Structures are given as structure tokens and as C-alpha cells.
Chains A and B, each alone.
Chain A
Amino acid sequence: MAGKKEEANIKAYSQNFTTMTPGPFAKKMRTCVIFQIIRFIIINLKMLVVVSKSH
């Protein structure tokens, strides 16, 4: 099978045909510990801003 396995769940003209799907790099970065430590800090800072605006 020559296709990319990340795209294998898409079925032509089904309900999921028009959405986006992540490639291997995007999926790898989701669990890349170093990258996620950076994201952890950034997400926490963003959440703190929203929390501070809400109290």
C-alpha cells in the first residue's frame, strides 16, 4: 500500500472527507517531551491570563 497511513481513515465523500488530518510530524510533536515541556509552559501562561481575566 503506497498511501500514507495517517490518511487511511479518510473515506471519499464520507462525513470525514472534508476535514484536515495530521501528518506524522504533527503527531510526533504531540508526544515529543521536549516540545511538550515548552508547550506546557506556554499553555499554562495562556490559561493563567484567561483565569485572571475571569476572576
Chain B
Amino acid sequence: MARLVVLGGGVSGHTAATFAAKWLGSAHEVVVVTPNAKWNWIPSNIWVGVGQMSKEEVTFDLAPVYAKAGITYKQAKALSLNPEGNATSNKPFVTVEFTAAGKEGTTENIEYDYIINATGPKLNFGATPGLGEGSNLGEHTVSVCTADHAVHASHELEKCIQKMKKGERQKFLIGTGHGMCTCQGAAFEYIFNIEHELNRAGVRDMADIKWISNESFLGDFGVGGLHMKTMGYAVSSKIFAESLFTERGVDWIIGAHVNKVESGKAHYELLDGTMGEEEFNFSMLIPPFAGVGLKAFDKAGEDITATVFAPNGFMKVDANYAAGAYENWKASDWPKTYQNPTYSNMFACGIAFAPPHPISKPMSSPNGTPINPTPPRTGMPSGIIGKAVAHSICDRILKGENAPLHEASMANMGAACVASAGKGLFNGTAAAMTIYPVVPDFEKYPGTGRDTDYTFGEIGLAGHWIKHILHHLFIWKAKLKAGWTLIPE
């Protein structure tokens, strides 16, 4: 009997674990190690953050789902990997520390035949002074990264609305809290949902809303922007984004590295090297992401973390990490199988794998401060990669160690993305987009880097309906309810 250990129960890890359990059956064991007791459909945290959904609507308990799937569930966080075993055993193992009530702080070594690192990111609030400490949100801003954060954000937003109703003007600052952030899309959704809710509350005219981000142009979204075919033109996402910001009366600051946050004030550096500050009454700034801090040790107990993980803490996989300057980047730099190059029974998926380089062109200020989005690895690609990795491992367990690995390169994969701009059955809107491929391939698609037959976007009520349906569909799938395997990632 083989044992597969999956570290992390987010979109990628949950997808990998549930498909592996289905394909392997009871003859083999699948273990999920995740510090969280609940699964969270993160894309809907936006609506929790404006009070349009409750925490309970975007989360559910993992234990009964894993019990139904025959998955061994350990509510714990991984601390270290010993891919060669230790002095007394050749069997690789992972050391975990329990977070479940009653077992907090106790550790266990879990042996494995195969392991998937799908831990997701550490929310690195501590990278920006005043934004937070370590992975903990600070007191000056709010966040929608977790369901609990979003509940807190909703309460703070309501306080601002009440102040505006009493005639007190409020300043909103939404965007990214560091020069190396990703997830601009979440902030984009949040700023327009706030604008929508302020309209609904009848206080929009009492609010100044401003966007701040590390993108060099609006609509970069960490993927270097995209061109969408519209009215016979291939139109840049910059045009669409600027149009929406203008229409909704939202100003913007771009190319910004937020370097310090105080009570009611954010300090930033721009790509041209100038410094600025922006006051706010309410601010949601996305933190940068880092690896969760897993260590790795060889059989002798020597630290081999630098061999297994990239400096940012994400796990090395079959990517080309020596591509160098932007001019040398190729679509083929991106990983296909997500197998660790040193240990063939280790894989990484979702945010946990180390990308070869950003997708957006790297930029820095004259002061040497890097200011550019880091690449997104969330949503649809994250699920597809998790499933492909699970497929590879199941084949190796069931068919032998030489079974070919499945591939899921982000340079050969599209993504459907629905960005909410306001919730409402008949007055909601969302930007519905597809992008193909996620990582531009300028050799295959000279000019825009993407196939504009399959890259499109439009804003409207239909997009909102799709986002709402996807909310229910993906929670249905994650709960492993009838027909869950038929719902694509």
C-alpha cells in the first residue's frame, strides 16, 4: 500500500487529494495535512467583505468531506521535509505540527511514498512595515484574503458607511500593499464592489475612492495584461480597465511600492523614484506572498532547504530558473509536470510551486526598488495543475515508477476568470474574461503573445450570474456531491 501526503487543502491541494483518493481507491492511502478546519471558496470572500455574504456561505467543514472520500485528514501545518528519511530509516517523511483543538503544538512524522506541496502562500503582511507582523494582518488596514479577514473588512466598511450617512466624507484606498504583490484581480473586484455598495447605500457622493497597485499599467493583472478581440480590434486590457475606473469615478496610482503604512496613511515609492503618501479612512491592501517556510533536511540532518526550495520559499519544480533577463524569457521556461528536480516523488502545485520568473516585465525604480506584479497561480490553473499532478502520481502508484507524467503548463493552458464589479441579481455586473494561454507565448502568437480567438472579455450582468453560479458549483464540487467529477476545474 502506497501513501500520498498532500500538504494543503486549498483549491489545488483539495483537487489533487480528492481525485487521488477516487483514482487510488481504498488500496492506497491519501493523507491531507492542512492547518485549517474549513475549506474556503476564496473568490467569494469579496462578497463577504462588503457584507453581501456570510462566512458560513463561503466555507464548510473539511472533516466530513474527507471522511466520505476515505482521506486521512490531519489538521496540522507542515514544518519540514526529510525526503531521504533520517539516520534510522530510509523512508521519506514530513514533520507536522497539529493545530486542532486539544492537540495544538504536538508534532508527528508522517512517512510518505509521494508528496504534493500545495500549501498555498504565507500572507506576508510583515514585508511592509505597518501592514502587519509576519503573516498577521495589522491594525491599520483590512484584508479579504481569508473569510475571517473579510468579515472584519465588512464591519469596518459598515462603520465608514454610517459615518458618511452622518455627513463625514471618507477616503478609500484599495490595491496592493507592496511592490511584489500578486492577486491584483481580488483588489480590483473589491474596489468595484465597494463602489457598488456605496451607491446602494446612497453615500457614493461622500466617498473618494482610489486604487494603488504595483502594476506598470492598469489592467496588467500580473499577466502582463492581455489583448481582447472587440469590434474587430485587439484591444489592450489597459483600455478596458481605465474605462471602468473612469466610468465609476475611481482614481488610480500605479507603479507603486507601498513601503510603510500608518494609521490613516500609506507611504509609497513610484517607478520613477518619487515618493508619495496617501491618506485613507478605509484601506484594503493585498500583502505579498511568500512560501510558508518549510524546511528540508537530508538523511544526515543537514539543511537542504536551498536545494528543494527557491529563495522565496516556494518549491522548485521542472521550470527553467536560469532564463535570466526578460528578453530571454520563453513559454517553455514554465513547468509542465511540477516534479521536484532533486526528489522525483515530490511535486508542488498551486501557489506553492516556484515560478521561473514573473509574467509581467520586471521593473524597478531608480532607487533599485523592484516594482512589478508577481505571477498569479490561483483559480482555474491551480485546480488543473493539482489534478494533473494527482494523475501523474496515481499512474506511478498503479502502473509503475516509469509511468509518464501528465503535463499542465500555464504556457499551454487557458483560464476563465470572472471579476465581480458589484453584486445584484438584476443590477450586478462582472467582467467575464478568458485568456489563452495564461503565460504569453510570443513565439507562437507574435505580437500579443496570446490567441485572440480565445482571449476575450466583457462586462455585464451575465458575468455576475456566471460568478454566482460558479460560487455554488465549486462549493458543490469541493463537497464531493453527486457529479462532482463532471465539473471542470
Docked CA distance A48–B246 (Å) = 31
Which residues on the A side are within 8 Å of B249 (C-beta)? Answer: 9
Docked CA distance A35–B379 (Å) = 28
Residue of B242, B427, B434, B454 touching A31 (CB-CB under 8 A) = B427
Task: Tell me the A1-50 residues at the B interface (CB within 8 Å).
Answer: 6, 9-10, 15-16, 18-22, 27, 29-33, 36-37, 39-40, 43-44, 46-47, 49-50
Q: A54, B380: Cβ atoms under 8 Å? A: yes
- Is B310 in the interface zone, CB < 8 Å from A? no
Q: A43, B466: Cβ atoms under 8 Å? A: yes
A-binding residues in B (CB < 8 A): 239, 242-243, 245-249, 251-252, 380, 384, 413-416, 426-427, 429, 432, 434, 436, 454, 456, 458-463, 465-466, 488-489
Which residues on the B side are within 8 Å of A40 (C-beta)? Answer: 462, 465-466
Q: A30, B414: Cβ atoms under 8 Å? A: no
Q: A31, B461: Cβ atoms under 8 Å? A: yes
Closest partner residue, chain B, to A29 (CB atom):
B460
Docked CA distance A20–B427 (Å) = 22
Main secondary structure of the interface of B (DSSP, over half): mixed
Given A39-B460, A54-B384; A16-B426 close (CB under 8 Å): no
Q: A16, B245: Cβ atoms under 8 Å? A: yes
Q: B436, A19: Cβ atoms under 8 Å? A: no
Q: B243, A30: Cβ atoms under 8 Å? A: no
Closest partner residue, chain A, to B424 (CB atom):
A31
Given A20-B239, A21-B243; A15-B432 close (CB under 8 Å): no
Q: State how many angstroms separate the Cβ of B417 from the closest Cβ of chain A.
A: 9
Q: B416, A50: Cβ atoms under 8 Å? A: yes
Q: State how many angstroms separate the Cβ of A42 from the closest Cβ of chain B.
A: 8
Known contacts A16-B246, A44-B466, then 8 further A-B pairs from the complex at CB < 8 Å, ordered by chain A residue: A19-B243, A30-B459, A30-B460, A31-B427, A43-B462, A43-B466, A53-B436, A54-B436
Closest 7 CB pairs of A and B: A19-B242, A40-B462, A50-B414, A16-B246, A36-B461, A39-B462, A30-B460
Closest partner residue, chain B, to A37 (CB atom):
B462
Chain A to chain B contacts (Cβ below 8 Å), 7 pairs? A6-B247, A20-B243, A21-B243, A22-B243, A30-B460, A30-B461, A37-B462
Closest partner residue, chain B, to A38 (CB atom):
B462
Which residues on the A side are within 8 Å of B461 (C-beta)? Answer: 30-33, 36
Which residues on the A side are within 8 Å of B463 (C-beta)? Answer: 43
Q: Total contacts A to B, CB within 8 angstroms?
A: 85
Q: State how many angstroms separate the Cβ of B337 from the closest Cβ of chain A.
A: 16
Which residues on the A side are within 8 Å of B466 (C-beta)? Answer: 40, 43-44, 47
Q: State how many angstroms separate the Cβ of A38 from the closest Cβ of chain B.
A: 8
Given A31-B429, A40-B465; A47-B242 close (CB under 8 Å): no
Closest partner residue, chain B, to A40 (CB atom):
B462
Q: A19, B246: Cβ atoms under 8 Å? A: yes
Closest partner residue, chain A, to B251 (CB atom):
A15
Q: B458, A53: Cβ atoms under 8 Å? A: no
Main secondary structure of the interface of A (DSSP, over half): helix
Which residues on the A side are within 8 Å of B462 (C-beta)? Answer: 36-37, 39-40, 43
Residue of B426, B454, B460, B465 touching A50 (CB-CB under 8 A) = B454
Closest partner residue, chain B, to A15 (CB atom):
B252
Given A30-B460, A53-B414; A47-B432 close (CB under 8 Å): yes
Given A20-B243, A36-B460, A37-B462; A51-B427 close (CB under 8 Å): no
Which residues on the B side are within 8 Å of A44 (C-beta)? Answer: 466
Given A19-B239, A31-B460, A55-B488; A47-B426 close (CB under 8 Å): no
Docked CA distance A29–B461 (Å) = 9
Which residues on the A side are within 8 Å of B434 (C-beta)? Answer: 46-47, 50
Q: A16, B432: Cβ atoms under 8 Å? A: no
Docked CA distance A20–B459 (Å) = 14
Q: A43, B242: Cβ atoms under 8 Å? A: no
Q: State how many angstroms separate the Cβ of A6 from the closest Cβ of chain B.
A: 7
Docked CA distance A31–B465 (Å) = 11
Q: State how many angstroms separate the Cβ of B387 from the closest Cβ of chain A.
A: 8
Docked CA distance A9–B432 (Å) = 24
Given A6-B247, A40-B465; A51-B414 close (CB under 8 Å): yes
Q: State how many angstroms separate the Cβ of A53 from the closest Cβ of chain B.
A: 6
Docked CA distance A6–B465 (Å) = 25
Residue of A16, A20, A37, A50 touching B415 (CB-CB under 8 A) = A50
Which residues on the A side are within 8 Å of B245 (C-beta)? Answer: 16
Residue of A15, A30, A37, A43 touching B429 (CB-CB under 8 A) = A30
Residue of B247, B252, B465, B489 touching A9 (CB-CB under 8 A) = B247
Q: State how many angstroms separate the Cβ of A7 from the closest Cβ of chain B.
A: 9
Closest partner residue, chain A, to B434 (CB atom):
A50
Docked CA distance A32–B460 (Å) = 9
Q: State how many angstroms separate the Cβ of A2 from the closest Cβ of chain B.
A: 20
Closest partner residue, chain A, to B421 (CB atom):
A30
Q: A36, B465: Cβ atoms under 8 Å? A: yes
Residue of B380, B454, B458 touching A43 (CB-CB under 8 A) = B458
Docked CA distance A32–B432 (Å) = 16
Q: A22, B247: Cβ atoms under 8 Å? A: yes
